[in-house]
A and B are shown apart, each in its own frame.
Chain A
Amino acid sequence: DTGVSQNPRHKITKRGQNVTFRCDPISEHNRLYWYRQTLGQGPEFLTYFQNEAQLEKSRLLSDRFSAERPKGSFSTLEIQRTEQGDSAMYLCASSLYVGFGEQFFGPGTRLTVL
Chain B
Amino acid sequence: GESVGLHLPTLSVQEGDNSIINCAYSNSASDYFIWYKQESGKGPQFIIDIRSNMDKRQGQRVTVLLNKTVKHLSLQIAATQPGDSAVYFCAENWSNAGKSTFGDGTTLTVKP
Contacts and interface: CB of A to CB of B under 8 A. Distances in A.
Given A48-B98, A100-B51, A42 B43 contact: no
A31 B105 CA distance: 25
Given A91-B43, A105-B43, A108-B43, A45 B51 contact: no
A100 B95 contact: yes
B99 A48 contact: yes
A91 B99 CA distance: 13
B99 A33 contact: yes
Contacts of A56: 97-99
Interface residues of A, number: 26
Interface string A17-46: 000000000000001010000001111110
B46 A31 contact: no
A55 B44 contact: no
Interface residues on B, range: 20 to 34
Given A41-B105, A45-B100, A100-B51, A93 B95 contact: no
A45 B101 contact: yes
Contacts of A55: 98
B20 to A, nearest CB: 19
A45 B43 contact: no
Interface string A79-114: 000000000000101000101101111111000000
Contacts of B97: 56
B94 to A, nearest CB: 10
Nearest to A106: B43
A107 B91 CA distance: 18
A75 interface: no
Contacts of A4: 43
B49 A105 contact: no
Given A102-B46, A105-B45, 8 more contacts: A33-B98, A33-B99, A93-B43, A100-B51, A103-B34, A104-B46, A108-B42, A108-B43
